[in-house]
Amino acid sequence: MTVEKITENLPRPNDEDWRFTPITRLVAAIKGGEGAVSSQAINIDTAVAAARLPGCDAVVMVDGMVTQPIASMQAMKTLDTAKFSTMLGERDVARRVLRDVTHYARFAFGGGQAAPKALQIIHVSTGKSNYTPSLLVIALADHAAAEIIESYVELNSQPESMAWRNHLTLIDVGKSAHLRHFIDDRGQNRGQTGFGTQTILAQLEEKARMEAVALKLGQGLAKTQKPAGFSRLDLKIKLAGEHADFTLAAAHILAAHHHTLATKIFHDTANTSSRQIIKNIVASCGEAVVQGLIQVAPHAQKTNAHLLSRGMILSPPDHAQAGNILFKPELKIYADDVKCSHGATVGGLDDAALFYLATRGISPDAAQAMLFSAFIEDAFADLAGFSCPNLQQMAQNWAENYLEKILDARGA
């Protein structure tokens, strides 16, 4: 695909939705013609085996392709795209996926049935192309129940190379259906120059429930290096049926990396609810942006919606740039009988808590690790409901291990 085609109709830096995401880095990298092919090939089977979670069924998508691909035009005909079109802006990167993909994966769960195991979809990006679009479709019929885990693996490990992964997940949750969804983005094998954009569009019908958990671990540990690439997750949820309920718990731990979480929750009918809690830990050269919109339609009375972002910034080592957290909430409320709120806190570690742990003989490094672990722990609480064994503890361990690497790098 030509450079002109890739950069065509991209979001602009002055677009309100993208004002805090460094889209100019992506444009510059594409126009610079930086190759994405890595000479340090990583075996796909080895990488997939490392990403596999126990007790789950698994499907692997390599650069958006599955074993038996289906033409994207069939995907568009299979989908009722009218359900999602109102959530797409003119220059959304998700619209580019619908334009550019040639194949997709679709998983449907029958009415009244509960899937016996969680389904893990492992997205593998090889870095063989500088632009890779991919599409995943999840459909739950009325009264169905399912657990979906989307895991991301990057095989392009060359620091000087550039690759853009642009992924779209479309989710249709039927009446009284229940979806648990875990976005597992641990930055596996990823360098610091890549770009990852992911969009999730979901529509929830009457009494439908969706519980989403998102984990994002940054790509680097550098003390002074500014991030070259970035990642972004756009989550747009339409609560279309009465008593529909959506929850999101997210944990971001970033060093030498920029990540944006942009959520838009549309309460389109009465008696719907949503709750979001986002935890951010940012080290040197890390950038976390949380943009959250809650929109309540005029007829959506009895809406109950809440958004909370909490952040902790690690003090940088000498001659390093401090991390940064930005929170931009929006409430657009056109009904008068609602409960809606947003809140944010940003700070560092509690000196009193550190002193207390020191009096108990706990070293400063161990005390910091304990406090950080406690800070993000509740972001993984919903993972306890997954059938995947020990998923909650595994996610906590991944976060703690990366935190430990960050703390070690600061002291080195």
- For residue 276, tell me if it sits in a domain: yes
Q: Which residues contact 254 (CB under 8 A, 6 or more apart)?
A: 216, 217, 218, 280, 281, 282, 283, 286, 287, 288, 323
Q: Tell me if 201 sits within 8 A of 170, measured CB to CB.
A: yes
- Tell me the pLDDT tens digit for each residue of 146-176: 999 999 988 865 555 568 899 999 999 999 9
User: How confident is the model at residue 46, as a pLDDT?
Assistant: 87
Q: List the domain range (segments joined by +) for residue 315.
A: 3-350
- For residue 400, tell me if it sits in a domain: no
- For residue 54, tell me if it sits in a domain: yes
Q: Is the pTM of this model over 0.85?
A: yes
- For residue 169, tell me if it sits in a domain: yes
Alpha carbon separation from 402 to 81, 187, 314 (Å, rounded): 39, 10, 14
User: How confident is the model at residue 39, as a pLDDT?
Assistant: 42
- For residue 395, tell me if it sits in a domain: no
How far apart are alpha carbons 43 and 191 in whole angstroms? 16
- For residue 201, tell me if it sits in a domain: yes
- Beta pairing, strands 70-71 & 103-109: antiparallel
- Tell me the pLDDT tens digit for each residue of 259-318: 999 999 999 999 999 999 999 999 888 899 999 999 999 999 999 999 999 999 887 766
- Tell me the pLDDT tens digit for each residue of 77-115: 666 667 788 888 888 999 889 888 888 888 989 888 888
- DSSP per residue over 176-232, as a string? T-EEEEEEEEEEET--SS-EEEEEEEEEE-TT-EEEEEEEEE-S---SSPPPSSEEE
- For residue 412, tell me if it sits in a domain: no
Residue 272, classed as helix, strand or coil, is: coil
- For residue 360, tell me if it sits in a domain: no
Domain count, the chain: 1
Q: Which residues contact 177 (CB under 8 A, 6 or more apart)?
A: 109, 140, 141, 142, 143, 144, 145, 146, 205, 208, 209
How far apart are alpha carbons 171 and 169 in whole angstroms? 6
- φ/ψ of residue 199, rounded to 5: -125, 135
Taking only Cα atoms into account, the Rg of the chain, rounded to an integer number of angstroms, comes to 21
Query: Which tokens sit at 234?
Result: 């756009």
- Tell me the pLDDT tens digit for each residue of 112-144: 888 889 999 999 988 778 888 999 999 999 999
